[in-house]
């Protein structure tokens, strides 16, 4: 087998592996365009015999738009909160001599591993006491605890790699640490900050447990909670459920496609270090 | 002198907002969880704003509850099953994609989709595919003649846990593969070249060069896999809700059930503390491991 044949063969095997692996995602999308009769047909059809959009129309009549806006609002605000807190913190841990620095880094490392269910009960009681149940505040605060440790750890590694001379030069030119940080370091760190923002967005977008626990009112529910609720409502109307699922996964897929290379790199470096 | 003092303060100003936030939303709840687990907090006590001290009573009740021991066992089976298989498959795929061909890094990248889509969606999707009549798994297996009767993926107490493990493996593979790929790409190539000159075959190279050199990464991947899988909640919650007959109940779903179905917050807190204690021990091992080679 010569080199070119081998290259071809590897590419084809690779595509096959990825297709089989991602078949469930393909199946989700395809099913959402099928009729109910076609879903139960044996043998199954690979592609819809006729593409129909009825499932999408049906779920639109439900509150999916409200769910979508809630997801968008909760995830965006959480991401903003994460970045506002995590970026300076990561910078401080990378640049300043701070007493107890190791302890703080440890704090972020440990909290990253904490299951949501461990803090769920005490947070519920705390939020009840301060009166933020049944609002967007509960899920936003809780979801920010997922993104902050991740972002601090990744960004700190990044800041450590920026030569200190850049800021020193800025300080000689009369910048104080804050403006040196904002004007010199932040622009350099933008790609990494975007990765952290995207990951925090994904974490929050995927949250189910915080929203359903802290908010009884369904008007505040994100897509994940809406879909969980819809399981009971639609039963085995799988085309509608898969349409719901497709819409819920869509923003994640779009952001992923836009940022693919950066995300893969950022995740790899962040998780190992 | 003054300037030095000022610069030290500036550092704290950068660091503290996030630290205080995390202490308030993670540190305080952890301590409060401990307090709660010694109390008798239920819905009534919550409304009154006072609850009585019970000491270790909740833990006694918990330890005499058979469902608790079932969920400990399930959590361990679930975690070990998931970690082992997602590691093996992830490693094989990492090796395959480390071969140099044009689409390698692109294809490796898009597998991350399974890790990124919300767990609620994956859970629902597999619930559909594992349906006994309409599910594609059974349809494929039956039409190809592998089985005659539909597999009760999620409806049989013997199978349900393993079916969820299967989904968790699917979710976890890209993460394992990604970390192992990064590790593989950092291995020095000249060792392999000299091994080839000495006549080593593929398997010898793998077991005598790749595995020993990759040992630190392998350990970290397994450890992170353990930590991330041990806290599983969403998959079980959406796919089976712990059933049939508690056969898929894990510690996190049990803690949730105590707190938010039965409104026995103290029992929920006690269960969560057990989960936390186990995870904490594993995290200590993990922290020791990364401390060796990091700049901390």
Residues in chain B within 8 Å Cβ distance of A260: 109-110
Q: What is the pLDDT of residue B7?
A: 58
Question: Does any domain span residue B129?
Answer: yes
Mean pLDDT of A250-268: 86
Instruction: Determine the 3-state secondary structure of A202 from DSSP.
Output: helix
Are the Cβ atoms of B269 and A121 closer than 8 angstroms?
yes
**What would the pLDDT profile of A189-237 be if each residue is shown by its tens digit?**
888 899 999 999 999 999 999 999 999 998 999 999 999 988 888 887 8
Question: Does any domain span residue B236?
Answer: yes
Residues in chain B within 8 Å Cβ distance of A110: 280, 283, 287
Are the Cβ atoms of B33 and A178 closer than 8 angstroms?
no
Residue A181 and residue A143 in contact, taking contact as beta carbons nearer than 8 Å: no
Residues in chain A within 8 Å Cβ distance of B8: 96-98
* Tokens read off for A24: 């469930």
Which is nearest to B248 in space by CA: B174, B182, B145, B161?
B161
Are the Cβ atoms of B118 and A252 closer than 8 angstroms?
yes
pLDDT at A67 over 90: yes
Mean pLDDT of A79-85: 97
Residues in chain B within 8 Å Cβ distance of A208: 118-120, 234, 237-238
Compare CB distances from B120 to A84, A227, A271 and report the shortest one's residue. Answer: A227
Residue B143 sits in a domain whose CATH number is 1.10.3720.10
Comparing alpha-carbon positions, the chain A residue that sits nearest to B18 is A85
In the stretch 156-185 of chain A, residues with CB closer than 8 A to chain B read 160, 177-178, 181
> DSSP characters for B97-128?
HHS--TTHHHHHHHTTHHHHS-HHHHHHHHHH
Mean pLDDT of A129-138: 94
**What would the pLDDT profile of A23-35 be if each residue is shown by its tens digit?**
999 999 999 999 9
Which is nearest to B172 in space by CA: B220, B119, B136?
B119
Residues in chain B within 8 Å Cβ distance of A142: 25
Instruction: Determine the 3-state secondary structure of B153 from DSSP.
Output: coil
Compare CB distances from A252 to B14, B19, B116 and report the shortest one's residue. Answer: B116
Are the Cβ atoms of B104 and A14 closer than 8 angstroms?
yes
Compare CB distances from A272 to B122, B182, B295 and report the shortest one's residue. Answer: B182
**Nearest-neighbour CA in chain A from B135: distance (Å):** 9
Are the Cβ atoms of B17 and A85 closer than 8 angstroms?
yes
**Nearest-neighbour CA in chain A from B252: distance (Å):** 6
Residue B173 and residue B116 in contact, taking contact as beta carbons nearer than 8 Å: no
What is the sign of the dihedral through the CA atoms of A26, A30, A32 and A38? negative
Are the Cβ atoms of A144 and B25 closer than 8 angstroms?
yes
Are the Cβ atoms of B224 and A104 closer than 8 angstroms?
no
Query: Most B CBs within 10 Å: which of A113, A130, A153, A171, as the mutation test of the B interface?
Result: A113
Comparing alpha-carbon positions, the chain B residue that sits nearest to A116 is B231
Q: What is the pLDDT of residue B292?
A: 66
Residue A184 and residue A115 in contact, taking contact as beta carbons nearer than 8 Å: no
Are the Cβ atoms of A14 and B97 closer than 8 angstroms?
yes
Question: Does any domain span residue B116?
Answer: yes
* Ordered structural domains, chain A, with CATH: 59-272 (1.10.3720.10)
Round to whole Å and give the CA distance between B30 and B277: 11
- β-pair partners for B42: B264
Residue A141 and residue A207 in contact, taking contact as beta carbons nearer than 8 Å: no
For residue B109, give its domain range: 66-262+271-293
Compare CB distances from A249 to B21, B117, B259 and report the shortest one's residue. Answer: B117
Compare CB distances from A15 to B19, B27, B103 and report the shortest one's residue. Answer: B103
Comparing alpha-carbon positions, the chain A residue that sits nearest to B251 is A117
Mean pLDDT of A98-106: 86
Question: Does any domain span residue B7?
Answer: no
CB of A105 within 8 Å of any CB in chain B? Answer: yes
Q: What is the pLDDT of residue A270?
A: 58
Per-residue pLDDT of chain B (296 residues; tens, 9 = 90+): 444 545 567 788 899 999 999 999 999 999 999 999 999 888 888 878 777 888 888 999 999 999 999 999 999 999 999 999 999 999 999 999 999 889 998 999 899 999 899 999 999 999 999 988 778 998 888 888 888 888 899 999 999 999 999 999 999 999 899 989 988 988 888 888 888 888 888 888 888 989 999 988 898 888 888 888 887 899 999 999 888 989 999 999 999 999 999 999 999 999 999 999 998 888 888 888 777 655 33
Residues in chain B within 8 Å Cβ distance of A211: none
Comparing alpha-carbon positions, the chain A residue that sits nearest to B26 is A119
What is the sign of the dihedral through the CA atoms of A133, A134, A138 and A139? positive
pLDDT at A272 over 70: no
CB of A254 within 8 Å of any CB in chain B? Answer: no
Question: Does any domain span residue B4?
Answer: no
Question: Does any domain span residue B158?
Answer: yes
Q: What is the pLDDT of residue A131?
A: 92
**Nearest-neighbour CA in chain A from B194: distance (Å):** 22
The CA dihedral of B267, B270, B271, B276, to the nearest 10 degrees, is 160
Between A and B, how many residue pairs show a Cβ–Cβ distance under 8 A? 294
Compare CB distances from B21 to A116, A148, A242 and report the shortest one's residue. Answer: A148
Tell the burial category of B192 from Cβ atoms under 10 Å away from its Cβ (0-12, 13-18, 19+). middle
- Give how many domains chain B has, as a whole number: 1
Question: Does any domain span residue B2?
Answer: no
In the stretch 26-55 of chain A, residues with CB closer than 8 A to chain B read 27-28, 31, 39-40, 42-44
Residues in chain B within 8 Å Cβ distance of A114: 26, 231, 276, 279
* Tokens read off for B19: 């630290």
Question: Does any domain span residue B35?
Answer: no
């Amino acid at each position: 087998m010569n080199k070119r044949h081998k290259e071809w063969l590897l590419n084809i095997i690779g595509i096959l592996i990825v297709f089989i692996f991602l078949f469930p995602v393909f199946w989700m999308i395809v099913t959402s365009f099928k009729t109910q009769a076609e879903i139960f047909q044996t043998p199954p059809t690979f592609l819809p015999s006729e593409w129909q959009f009825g499932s999408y129309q049906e779920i639109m009549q439900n509150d999916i738009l409200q769910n979508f806006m809630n997801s968008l609002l909760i995830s965006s605000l959480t991401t903003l909160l994460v970045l506002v807190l995590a970026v300076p913190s990561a910078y401080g841990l990378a640049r300043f001599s701070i007493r107890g620095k190791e302890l703080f880094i440890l704090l972020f490392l440990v909290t990253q591993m904490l299951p949501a269910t461990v803090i769920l009960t005490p947070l519920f009681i705390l939020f009840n006491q301060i009166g933020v149940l049944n609002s967007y505040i509960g899920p936003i605060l809780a979801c920010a605890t997922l993104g902050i440790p991740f972002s601090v750890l990744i960004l700190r590694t990044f800041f450590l790699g920026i030569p200190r001379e850049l800021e020193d030069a800025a300080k000689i030119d009369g910048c104080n640490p804050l403006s040196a940080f904002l004007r010199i370091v932040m622009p350099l760190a933008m790609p990494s900050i975007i990765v952290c923002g995207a990951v925090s967005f994904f974490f929050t977008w995927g949250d189910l447990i915080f929203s359903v626990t802290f908010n009884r009112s369904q008007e505040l529910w994100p897509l994940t909670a809406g879909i969980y609720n819809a399981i009971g409502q639609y039963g085995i109307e799988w085309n509608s459920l898969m349409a719901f699922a497709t819409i819920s996964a869509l923003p994640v897929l779009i952001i992923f496609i836009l940022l693919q290379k950066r995300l893969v790199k950022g995740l790899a470096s962040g998780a190992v270090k | 002198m003054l300037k030095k003092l000022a610069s030290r303060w500036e550092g704290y100003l950068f660091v503290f907002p996030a630290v205080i936030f995390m202490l308030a939303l993670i540190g305080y709840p952890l301590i409060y969880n401990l307090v709660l687990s010694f109390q008798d907090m239920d819905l009534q006590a919550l409304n009154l704003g006072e609850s009585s001290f019970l000491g270790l009573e909740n833990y006694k009740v918990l330890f005499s509850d058979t469902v608790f021991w079932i969920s400990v066992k399930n959590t361990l089976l679930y975690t070990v099953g998931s970690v082992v298989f997602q590691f093996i498959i992830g490693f094989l795929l990492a090796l395959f994609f480390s071969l140099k061909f044009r689409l390698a890094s692109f294809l490796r990248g898009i597998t991350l989709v399974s890790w990124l889509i919300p767990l609620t969606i994956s859970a629902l999707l597999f619930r559909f595919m594992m349906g006994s009549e309409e599910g594609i798994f059974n349809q494929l297996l039956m039409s190809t003649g592998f089985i005659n009767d539909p597999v009760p993926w999620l409806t049989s107490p013997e199978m349900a846990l393993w079916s969820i493990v299967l989904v968790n493996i699917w979710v976890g593979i890209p993460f394992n593969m990604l970390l192992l790929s990064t590790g593989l790409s950092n291995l020095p190539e000249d060792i392999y070249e000299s091994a080839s000159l000495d006549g080593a075959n593929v398997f010898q190279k793998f077991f005598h060069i790749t595995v020993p050199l990759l040992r630190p990464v392998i350990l970290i991947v397994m450890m992170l896999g353990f930590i991330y899988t041990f806290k599983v909640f969403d998959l079980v919650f959406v796919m089976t809700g712990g059933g049939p007959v508690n056969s898929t109940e894990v510690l996190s779903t049990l803690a949730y059930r105590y707190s938010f179905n039965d409104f026995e917050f103290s029992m929920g807190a006690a269960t969560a503390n057990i989960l936390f204690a186990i995870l904490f021990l594993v995290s200590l091992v993990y922290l020791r491991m990364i401390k060796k080679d990091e700049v901390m």
